Amino acid sequence: MTTPTIELKPSSHPLPAAEREKILAGPGFGRHFTDHMVTIKWTEGRGWHDAQLVPYAPLSIDPANMTLHYAQTIFEGLKAYRQADGSVATFRPEANAERFQRSARRLGMPELPVETFIAACDALVRQDRDWVPAHGGEESLYLRPFMFASEVGLGVKPANEYLFLVIASPAGAYFPGGVKPVSIWLSEDRVRAVPGGMGDAKTGGNYAASLLAQAEAAEKGCDQVAYLDAVEHKWVEELGGMNLYFVYGNKIVTPTLTGSLLAGITRDSLLTVARDLGYEAEEARVSIDQWQADTENGTLTEVFACGTAAVITPVGTVKRKGAEWQQSGGEPGEVTMKLREALLDIQRGTAQDTHGWMHPL
Ligand code: PLP
Ligand code: COI
C-alpha cells in the first residue's frame, strides 16, 4: 500500500492573530478549531489517495451516507505541547496510530498506515503551530484524527469508501473546575460495552451508549459514570471517556483490559511513570464492593481518572445505590498530583523523556 504525499492547500483566510490569541487565553475543550484540516480518501481497489491539507471547512454529506445510519466511524485523541524552547512535540502518536488500526479492524474499516497517521498529524500541527498554546501551563493543541464511511447507500455492509480527517482544537482543562475532584456515579444496571463487543475500539457507538447513563449521573449530581462489566455487574471497567486508577498507599492499580474497556495511552504511560517514581503499579480486577470496603477500611487512599483530554483528574465523591463516600477527603490526593505533574513534565518537555514518548516536529 503506497502512502500518499499530503498536498498543501493553505488557507487564504486564517483567523486573525488577535482573535486566535483571545481564544488561546481561555480555550476550554473542543469549542474552537484551527485554520486547517487534513483529509485522505480510501476507495476499494485504489487504497489511500488524495491526501490534502486544506482550510478547515464543513463537509457536504449525502442523506444516505452510511455512517449516518450504521455508525461505521472511529476516532483518536492526542495532544501537541509547546516545549520550553518554543518548539512543538506530540505525545506518543505512534500508540494512537496503532490503536486507530485496531479500531479500524474491529469496525471492518481499512487500516491507515501508522506513518500516514503520524504524517497527517504532523502536517496539521506544522501548518497551524501558532495555535499551540504557550509553554508552562497544561494547555495543549488537541488533535482529533477520525475516519468514517463515505459510501452512499442503505445496505448494511462494510463501506467501499472512507474519509480520514484530522482536525485540531486548542484545549485547556476538560472539566470546567480544572483539577477539582470529579464526582462519580457507579452505574450498576446500565453498561457501556459487552464481552465480544467493541468496548476496546474508539468508535462513536460506545460514546452514544454512554450518554443516557451520563444524563442519569447528572440527575444524581455526579459529573461522570463509572461502568461495570456487563456479565456480573460487579467489576469496575472505566468512565465514559477515561480510565480509572486506585491508589493503595504506595501501589497504584488499574482495571485489567478485558476487551470491553479502552486501552488508554495515558493509563499505559502511568504504569511506567509510577514505577519510575518508585511506586508499585499493577493491573487487576477491582469490584465495586471492594472499592467501597477498601475506602471504608482506609487501605484505598485515592482514586483518579486519566485520559488524553482529562489528563489526570482526582475522584472526590462516589455514589452508588444506597451509599455515598468521599475519596481522600474530597481533596486531590498526593500520589494523584505527583503522577499528574510527572506526566505533564514529560509532555511539556521539562522532564527528561527517558521512554522516547515525545515526537518533536
Ligand atoms: N476510555 C475511554 C472510553 C476514552 O474515550 C478515553 C479517551 O481517549 C480513555 C479511556 C483514555 O484513553 P487515552 O489515555 O488514550 O486518551
Ligand atoms: C480523549 O481523551 O481523547 C477522548 O477521546 C475522551 C473524550 C471524552 C474527549
Considering only CA atoms, which of 338, 336, 202, 228 is closest in space to residue 285? 228
- 174 alpha carbon to ligand 2 midpoint, in Å? 9
Give pLDDT, residue 179: 80
Check pocket membership of 224 for ligand 2, CB cut-off 6 A: no
Give pLDDT, residue 175: 74
Question: Residue ranges of the alpha helices (H) in 277-332?
Answer: 288-296
Give pLDDT, residue 2: 56
- 266 alpha carbon to ligand 1 midpoint, in Å? 8
Is the CB of residue 74 less than 8 Å from the CB of residue 42? no
CA distance linking residue 336 with residue 317, whole number of Å: 15
Tell which atom from ligand 1 comes closest to the C-alpha of 262: 1
ipTM of the complex: 0.98
Predicted structure pTM score: 0.96
Residue 143, strand partner residues: 78, 168
For atom 9 of ligand 2, the residue with the nearest CA is 309
Check pocket membership of 243 for ligand 1, CB cut-off 6 A: yes
Enter the C-alpha cell of residue 35: 485554520
Long-range CB contacts for residues 16-23, cutoff 8 Å, separation at least 24:
17/130, 20/130, 20/131, 23/170
Is the CB of residue 156 less than 8 Å from the CB of residue 103? no
Check pocket membership of 264 for ligand 1, CB cut-off 6 A: yes
CA distance linking residue 205 with residue 121, whole number of Å: 24
Check pocket membership of 264 for ligand 2, CB cut-off 6 A: no
Check pocket membership of 307 for ligand 2, CB cut-off 6 A: yes
One digit per residue, the tens of pLDDT, for the chain of length 361 reads 556 788 888 777 889 999 999 999 999 999 999 999 999 999 999 999 999 999 999 999 999 999 999 999 999 999 999 999 999 999 999 999 999 999 999 999 999 999 999 999 999 999 999 999 999 888 999 999 999 999 999 999 999 999 999 999 999 978 776 688 999 999 999 999 999 999 999 999 999 999 999 999 999 999 999 999 999 999 999 998 999 999 999 999 999 999 999 999 999 999 999 999 999 999 999 999 999 999 999 999 999 999 999 999 999 999 999 999 999 998 999 999 999 999 999 999 999 999 999 999 9
- 238 alpha carbon to ligand 1 midpoint, in Å? 9
Check pocket membership of 267 for ligand 1, CB cut-off 6 A: yes
Tell which atom from ligand 1 comes closest to the C-alpha of 96: 15
Identify the burial level of 361 via C-beta atoms within 10 angstroms of its C-beta, where 0-12 means exposed, 13-18 middle and 19 or more buried. Answer: middle
- 19 alpha carbon to ligand 1 midpoint, in Å? 31
Tell which atom from ligand 2 comes closest to the C-alpha of 266: 2
